[in-house]
Amino acid sequence: MHSRPLGRSGLTVSTLSLGTMNWGTQVDEDDARQLLDDYLDAGGTTIDTAYGYADGASETIIGSLTADLRREDLVLVGKAGISRRTGERVVDTSRRALLDQLDASLGRLGTDHLDLWLVHTWS
């Protein structure tokens, strides 16, 4: 798989990213493991997730599956600003909400940093 520099940031990302929006809902941990293994075997490095995916289950699965991998071999992309804390889609891009979601994401992913962190939507 090819890689590309992300602007002038110094970060290199694989040209295809592994999206995990359905992990924890339509994709269980066993299937996620197979998808991740195949992706990494193909040379992929960039894993995309978000605080609101499957109410955090996506990040929990990623954290479990990547715990034994070398963190420097992965590019973790996370997003914040959307939750379903009331059962409905809630957009909150305030500083407090973003930082709270970042802390929760880092805990679920079992890492101390994201390589790229995005605001998931405008408000």
pLDDT grade, residue 2 (50/70/90)?
very high
Determine the pLDDT at residue 64: 98
CB distance 50 to 79 below 8 Å:
yes
Average pLDDT over residues 13-18: 97
The whole-number pLDDT of residue 86 equals 79
Q: How far is CA 113 from the centre of its chain?
A: 11
Q: What average pLDDT does the segment 16-27 reach?
A: 97
pLDDT, one tens digit per residue, over 33-79 is 999 999 999 999 999 999 999 999 999 999 999 999 999 999 999 99
Residue 78's pLDDT is what?
A: 98
Reported as a single tens digit per residue, the pLDDT across 82-94 is 998 778 999 999 9
pLDDT at 16: 97
Helices (H), ranges, the chain:
29-41, 57-66, 95-109
Q: Is 53 annotated as catalytic?
A: no
Which residue in 14, 18, 20, 51 is the catalytic one?
Answer: 51
Number of H helices, E strands in the chain: 3, 8
